[in-house]
């Protein structure tokens, strides 16, 4: 089995999860930052499963991920992401659903994982100011709610859940 991990990460949270996925995988594997991907330099055909990692930017996957995600066809995919807000409520579930919709329907999404990731320190003051101007903005509100809690993430528990996610996906794909 041949696997690829492509991830996008601005401040290192998603990279940490990507690395734990890589370390868990058996068989032939490659890991790449999405910033290294250009139009023709990844031959997706070579891989049995592709893990795709994004960070959440205003309620959806970041722009660099989206550009790559939209151009993948006919593959088995496993999605993973990190976000500043708590992942447990509807907000996290809605984000995972919205990210799935970015993909062409000819792909098969085998599973999806998301965990909290620390929000860059400098953003707190900026978000507080923005929320005063836009009190209806749920992305800012949810992040501020989760700001303090986010600072320890991704933690050991998140990493062990990512490891379990990886093992489940690899078992599913090898049974297919
Ligand atoms: C510009 C920007 C927008 C963000 N938007 C959201 C958001 O809408 N919802 C959320 O829960 N977190 C949001 N975050 C927090 C990040 O998704 C979170 O910190 C993530 O773990 C960053 O991943 P990285 O370290 O791999 O870059 C935002 C962060 C930045 C910098």
Question: Tens digit of pLDDT for each residue in 79-116?
Answer: 999 999 999 889 999 999 999 999 999 999 999 999 99
> Cα 68–96–114 angle (5° rounding)?
95
Instruction: Work out how many domains the chain is built from and give that number.
Output: 1
Instruction: Assign residue 99 the CATH number of its domain.
Output: 3.40.50.360
Ligand 1 center to residue 123 CA distance, Å? 10
Q: 94 in a domain, yes or no?
A: yes
CA distances from 84 to 11, 38, 45, 56, 104 (A): 12, 28, 33, 8, 27
Answer whether 18 contacts ligand 1 (Cβ < 6 A). Answer: no
Ligand 1 center to residue 9 CA distance, Å? 10
How far apart CA 1 and CA 135 sit, in angstroms, is 49
pLDDT at position 67, please? 94
Specify the ligand 1 atom closest to the Cα of 53: 26
How far apart CA 63 and CA 33 sit, in angstroms, is 14
Q: Is the pLDDT of residue 40 over 90?
A: no
Q: 139 in a domain, yes or no?
A: no
pLDDT at position 161, please? 98
Q: 43 in a domain, yes or no?
A: yes
Q: 128 in a domain, yes or no?
A: no
Answer whether 87 contacts ligand 1 (Cβ < 6 A). Answer: no
Q: 168 in a domain, yes or no?
A: yes
pLDDT at position 175, please? 85
pLDDT at position 88, please? 87
Q: 7 in a domain, yes or no?
A: yes
Binning the chain into helix, strand and coil, the percentages to the nearest 5 are: 45, 25, 30
How far apart CA 77 and CA 14 sit, in angstroms, is 17
Q: 146 in a domain, yes or no?
A: no
CA atoms within 13 A on the CB side of 141: 8
Alpha helices in 25-155 (DSSP H): 63-69, 90-100, 123-133, 138-150
Q: Is the pLDDT of residue 35 over 90?
A: yes
> Cα 122–114–133 angle (5° rounding)?
40
- Residue identifier of the C-alpha nearest atom 7 of ligand 1: 58
Domain range for 169 is 2-118+153-175
The rounded Cα 121 to chain-centroid distance in angstroms is 20
User: Of all residues in the chain, what percent carry a pLDDT higher than 90?
Assistant: 85
Ligand 1 center to residue 46 CA distance, Å? 31
Answer whether 127 contacts ligand 1 (Cβ < 6 A). Answer: no
Q: 136 in a domain, yes or no?
A: no
Q: Is the pLDDT of residue 39 over 90?
A: no
Q: Is the pLDDT of residue 153 over 90?
A: yes
Kindly compute the dihedral angle of the four CA atoms of residues 102, 104, 106, 111, in this order, to the nearest 10 degrees: -20
């Amino acid at each position: 089995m041949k696997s690829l991990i492509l991830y996008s990460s601005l401040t290192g949270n998603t990279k940490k999860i990507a690395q734990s996925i890589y370390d868990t995988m058996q068989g032939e594997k490659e890991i790449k930052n999405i910033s290294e991907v250009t139009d023709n330099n990844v031959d997706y055909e070579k891989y049995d499963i592709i893990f795709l990692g994004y960070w959440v930017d205003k309620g959806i996957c970041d722009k660099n991920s989206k550009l790559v995600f939209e151009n993948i066809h006919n593959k088995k995919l496993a999605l993973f992401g990190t976000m500043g807000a708590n992942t447990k409520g509807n907000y996290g579930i809605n984000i995972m659903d919205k990210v799935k919709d970015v993909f062409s329907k000819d792909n098969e999404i085998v599973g999806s994982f998301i965990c909290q990731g620390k929000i860059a320190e400098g953003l707190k003051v900026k978000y507080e100011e923005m929320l005063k101007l836009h009190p209806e903005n749920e992305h800012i509100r949810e992040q501020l709610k989760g700001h303090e809690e986010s600072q320890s993430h991704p933690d050991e528990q998140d990493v062990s859940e990512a490891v379990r996610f990886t093992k489940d996906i690899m078992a599913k794909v090898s049974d297919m």
